[in-house]
Amino acid sequence: MIGVAVLGATGTIGVNTLDVIRRHTGEYQIIALTAHSQYERLAKQCEEFNPDYAVLVSEEAADKLEKLLKQKGINTRVLHGADALEQVARLKEVDVVMAAIVGAAGLQSTLAAAQAGKRILLANKESLVMSGKLFMDQVRDNDATLLPIDSEHNAIFQCMSDDYAQGLDKIGVNKILLTGSGGPFRELPMAEFSKVTPEQAIAHPNWSMGKKISVDSATMMNKGLELIEACWLFATDLSKIKVVLHPQSIVHSMVEYVDGSILAQLGQPDMRTPIAHGLAWPRRIESGVSMLDLISMPDLQFAEPDMQRYPCLGLAREAMKTGGTATTILNAANEIAVQAFLDKKLNFTGIAKTVEFVLEQITARTADTIETVVSEDGHARIVAVDYIEKITMQAGAVH
Ligand code: NDP
Ligand code: MG
């Protein structure tokens, strides 16, 4: 049996992971499930999968979970606090860690999984964006296996030859073609962007995802974070990666080789495919995803992204060029701005403005220790909050 810890079990990726595992209960055993505060959903998952450990960051929610589990006669041990996330990621019974916490909150537990030499199924792209080199060093030094779950990176991984770590030039890669749908506002007149509501922004045309990544998809910061993620995962720089708009989300990304071949991975826009791939790699297992019907498929379109429409994409590219903690700052400012937008304290165009302001205010440093990364993350959040308060006050209402 392969022992699995699902960090962020109650989220979209977590629920999809459990759906794949449910189809293969003889092969995978859930050792730990974690969430922030959704104790009722976690209790149901414990009832079905009977893990050894359940973790909630919120102590209050953990007390409630403990009572619920006792009533139901389930003997899962309940832990609480952020440290407990790291604790379960390191357990010796755990072979595979699904890193599916959203945002910077996932950094320490994903790093703990790397330090413990686990197979990491990486959905939490923010941890890699925040601390790219440090994270990749930990993976290498501790013989961990890092498998991308982000659909594009999983597609690229499937289209790469195994020895890509030698360098993309050595294996004849000309370009990585990173596809993105362009989100729900691909055709909305830009003059209307400032009136966009959170409800409109989280209604992604093709994918069903958590709120934060849905907003990131609407601004295309998600593609910016993915550019950075791809640089670290595939040991390359920005010059080798081209972002291509592909509104149908059927081709999940491509690799172009010097001989003129382009390899693509196609499938339904359903995260259970990359999750199943990561769980079973190098084997293949059923994921519950229906087959793509090529005959009745819509026409596939590809286009250049309009950088004026998606300023966050340019900001991410610049941050990666700057290097060091610039990507940490970018990520932190974006998390604060997205939450402010979801809380209706900031308008949609304010997200890019906030990120730009914070990047201008803080001079990036060398990201040489995790302590530096964590302190830079904290600093950027303070600057972002101050900026949002200031512009909100100037506007006299919702900006
Ligand atoms: P969701 O918002 O649906 O779920 C987030 C999960 O993280 C929940 O289990 C939540 O617990 C937990 N969580 C939230 N805050 C904290 C915290 N401070 N400490 C510990 N746990 C916390 O997100 P998604 O599943 O959509 O995304 C998860 C990650 O995967 C993100 O990094 C995203 O970018 C990435 N990803 C997602 C894709 C998708 O299709 N959804 C595609 C590609 C990547 P609770 O429920 O208790 O709040
Ligand atoms: Mg993606």
User: Do the beta carbons of residue 337 and residue 350 sit within 8 Å?
Assistant: yes
pLDDT of residue 204: 82
Ligand minimally distant from the alpha carbon of residue 124? 1
CA dist 92 → 89, 109, 137, 296 (Å): 9, 15, 21, 47
Average pLDDT of the residues of the chain? 96
Question: Ligand 1 in contact with 38 (CB < 6 A)?
Answer: yes
Distance of CA 323 to the CA centre of its chain: 20
pLDDT of residue 352: 98
pLDDT of residue 399: 43
Q: Give the HSE-up count for residue 379: Cα atoms under 13 Å, Cβ half-sphere.
A: 17
Q: How confident is the model at residue 208 (pLDDT cuts 50, 70, 90)?
A: confident
Q: Domain 323-398 classified CATH 3.30.420.40?
A: no
Nearest-CA residue for ligand 1 atom 4 is 11
- 2-148 belongs to which homologous superfamily? NAD(P)-binding Rossmann-like Domain (3.40.50.720)
- Annotated domain spans of the chain: 2-148, 156-269, 323-398
Bridge-based pairing of strands 251-257 and 173-180 is: antiparallel
What pLDDT digit, counting tens, does each position of 6-33 carry?
999 999 999 999 999 999 999 999 999 9
The pLDDT of residue 315 is above 90:
yes
Query: Is this model's pTM higher than 0.75 or not?
Result: yes
Contacts with 118 (C-beta within 8 Å, 6 or more apart), sequence order: 89, 94, 95, 96, 97, 144, 145
| % of the chain beyond a pLDDT of 70 | 99
- Stated as kind and residue range, the H or E segment containing 152 is helix 151-159
pLDDT of residue 337: 98
Spatial CA neighbour of 248 closest among 310, 297, 178, 312: 297
Q: Supply 11's token pair.
A: 């989220």
Q: For residue 127, give the ligand 1 atom closest to its CA.
A: 32
Distance of CA 389 to the CA centre of its chain: 27
Mutate to test the pocket of ligand 1, among 7, 45, 101, 127 (most ligand atoms within 8 A of CB): 101
Question: Ligand 1 in contact with 37 (CB < 6 A)?
Answer: yes
Cα of 322 from ligand 1 centre, angstroms: 28
What pLDDT digit, counting tens, does each position of 77-115 carry?
999 999 999 999 999 999 999 999 999 999 999 999 999
Question: Ligand 1 in contact with 367 (CB < 6 A)?
Answer: no
